[in-house]
């Protein structure tokens, strides 16, 4: 009898952020190399990040069959799928969400929210593998263009691994360097692949709060120019307002005055240890939010039952629709707050889907736009809700408000 183990990984965690004024309520090129030795993820960065990246015509017939079920091959995804499959075949653990995002950036890809699927076992049957994958990919909603990377590897004694990594591309980006001089001006240019009513470019520097820099959207073309004026890592995030509301569509990291890291290192996130002893999932998220704010010199937020109710309804809507967004059927945050009779001069919302609550908090903290909401000093109240799906995923809504 064949033995199989199916592993589904999400990374980075899916999330959205929105902060808005509410006037109606009175005032918002080197190849990628990786090793699985001792579980370490080591990479060599490409000199720039851009998309799309054509895939080399080297897929096997077995890989081509999975691509036929998934979609067009992308070069960066093909590289990283090979890394994930090789790690699992060698006995290393699969990449976590943040490791997967790191590997994709090193491979030169700017897209967000990749999803990974893997099947490992002895004497894998191709038809069974394809049937399992078809069931998984059929549950994923796509707004833009699906791109894919696949790898099918065989090891000793009949061991085998099949891996697919995919993302929903809503925009593409012209090449942006991954290394720069301190003070160098960077031009970011991109193209929306879906209708968008506006864009923002948010920077998260090495020693400063997130900040928005000037940007434009004209005829579907995105443009922004900014300087990386401190040494260290700069996370650049492009937010676009699409059919489901504002959401990240592109991200890249620029290392100013230093080389990109050759190995993934997970840094501690403020607040992540505070969830211990929480009475429920929402309380755990609240504890992490306030611990992070206190660590950064902000006042803790007061939990508001009315905001909790709005957040709870939205988490359940997202879980039901299987999509992370600010409007998935119940209206955008402004409409939901107004309908609840909540009076606020300014409000914001973070939403996420993740495999665990700490992963949700880490992903929100790592995102410039979401961290901006977490630390905004004008916010004084918060509503928090978590819906837990049958597959073990967590659907999180954080609703902020201020006078």
CATH number at residue 144: 3.40.33
Is residue 120 over pLDDT 60?
A: yes
191 CB neighbour count, 10 Å cutoff: 13
What CATH number is attached to the domain comprising 284? Answer: 3.40.33.10
Q: Within this chain, do residues 122 and 223 fall inside the same structural domain, yes or no?
A: no
* Average pLDDT over every residue of 347-351: 92
Is residue 290 over pLDDT 60?
A: yes
Banded pLDDT at 321 (limits 50, 70, 90): confident
What CATH number is attached to the domain comprising 244? Answer: 2.60.40.10
Q: Give 168-217 pLDDT, tens digit per residue.
A: 999 999 999 999 999 999 999 999 999 999 999 999 998 777 899 999 99
Domain contains 248: yes
**Residue 39's pLDDT is what?**
66
Is residue 324 over pLDDT 90?
A: no
Is residue 10 over pLDDT 80?
A: no
Domain contains 15: no
Of 221, 256, 291, the residue that ends a domain is 256
| Of residues 253 and 157, more confidently modeled | 253
Q: Within this chain, do residues 209 and 333 fall inside the same structural domain, yes or no?
A: no
Domain contains 213: yes
Is residue 390 over pLDDT 50?
A: yes
Q: By mean pLDDT, which of 35-44, 188-197, 269-278, 306-315 is the weakest? A: 35-44
Domain contains 287: yes
Q: Across the strands, what pairs with 224?
A: 188, 215
Closest C-alpha to 7, from 154, 161, 151, 126: 161
The range of the structural domain enclosing residue 376 comes to 272-402
Strands 179-180 and 245-256: parallel
Give the residue carrying structure tokens 């999180």: 396
Of 134, 169, 204, the residue that ends a domain is 169
Domain contains 165: yes
User: What pTM, to 2 d.p., does this model score?
Assistant: 0.77
Looking from the CA of 230 toward its CB, the CA atoms found within 13 Å total 11
Laid out side by side, the sheet with 211-213 consists of: 179-180, 245-256, 232-242, 199-204, 211-213
Of 144, 169, 194, the residue that ends a domain is 169
Q: Within this chain, do residues 100 and 154 fall inside the same structural domain, yes or no?
A: yes
Distance CA 187, CA 216 (A): 12
**Residue 259's pLDDT is what?**
94
Is residue 9 over pLDDT 80?
A: no
| Of residues 397 and 43, more confidently modeled | 397
Domain contains 5: no
Give the residue carrying structure tokens 């902000």: 298
Q: Within this chain, do residues 219 and 281 fall inside the same structural domain, yes or no?
A: no
Domain tally, the chain: 3
Three-state secondary structure call for residue 264: coil
Q: Within this chain, do residues 147 and 190 fall inside the same structural domain, yes or no?
A: no
Q: Within this chain, do residues 199 and 100 fall inside the same structural domain, yes or no?
A: no
**Residue 95's pLDDT is what?**
82
């Amino acid at each position: 009898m064949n033995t199989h183990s199916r592993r589904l990984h999400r990374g980075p965690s899916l999330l959205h952020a929105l902060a808005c004024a509410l006037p109606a309520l009175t005032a918002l090129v080197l190849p990628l190399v990786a090793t699985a030795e001792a579980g370490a993820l080591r990479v060599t960065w490409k000199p720039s990040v851009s998309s799309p990246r054509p895939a080399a015509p080297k897929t096997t017939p077995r890989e081509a069959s999975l691509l036929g079920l998934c979609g067009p091959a992308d070069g960066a995804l093909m590289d990283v799928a090979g890394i994930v499959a090789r790690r699992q075949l060698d006995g290393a653990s699969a990449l976590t969400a943040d490791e997967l995002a790191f590997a994709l950036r090193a491979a030169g890809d700017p897209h967000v929210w990749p999803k990974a699927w893997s099947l490992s076992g002895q004497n894998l049957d191709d038809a069974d593998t394809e049937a399992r994958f078809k069931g998984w990919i059929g549950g994923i909603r796509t707004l833009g263009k699906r791109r894919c990377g696949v790898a099918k590897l065989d090891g000793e004694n009949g061991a085998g691994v099949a891996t697919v990594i995919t993302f929903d591309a809503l925009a593409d980006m012209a090449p942006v360097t991954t290394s720069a001089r301190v003070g160098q001006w960077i031009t970011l240019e991109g193209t929306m692949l879906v209708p968008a009513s506006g864009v923002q470019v948010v920077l998260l520097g090495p020693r400063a709060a997130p900040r928005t820099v000037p940007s434009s959207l004209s005829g579907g073309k995105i443009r922004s120019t900014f300087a990386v004026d401190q040494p260290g890592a700069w996370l650049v995030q492009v937010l676009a307002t699409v059919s489901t509301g504002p959401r990240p569509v592109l991200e890249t990291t620029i290392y100013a005055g230093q080389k990109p890291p050759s190995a993934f290192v997970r840094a501690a996130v403020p607040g992540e240890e505070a969830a211990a002893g929480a009475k429920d999932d929402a309380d755990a998220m609240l504890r992490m939010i306030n611990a992070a704010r206190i660590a950064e010199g902000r006042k803790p937020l007061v939990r508001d039952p009315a905001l909790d109710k709005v957040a709870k309804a939205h988490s359940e809507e997202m879980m039901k629709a299987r999509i992370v967004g600010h409007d998935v059927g119940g209206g955008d945050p402004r409409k939901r707050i107004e309908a609840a009779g909540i009076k606020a001069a300014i409000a914001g919302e973070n939403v996420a889907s993740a495999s665990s609550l700490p992963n949700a908090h880490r992903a929100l903290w790592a995102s410039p736009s979401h961290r901006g909401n977490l630390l905004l000093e004008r916010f004084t109240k918060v509503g928090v809700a978590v819906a837990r799906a049958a597959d073990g995923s967590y659907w999180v809504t954080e609703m902020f408000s201020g006078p």
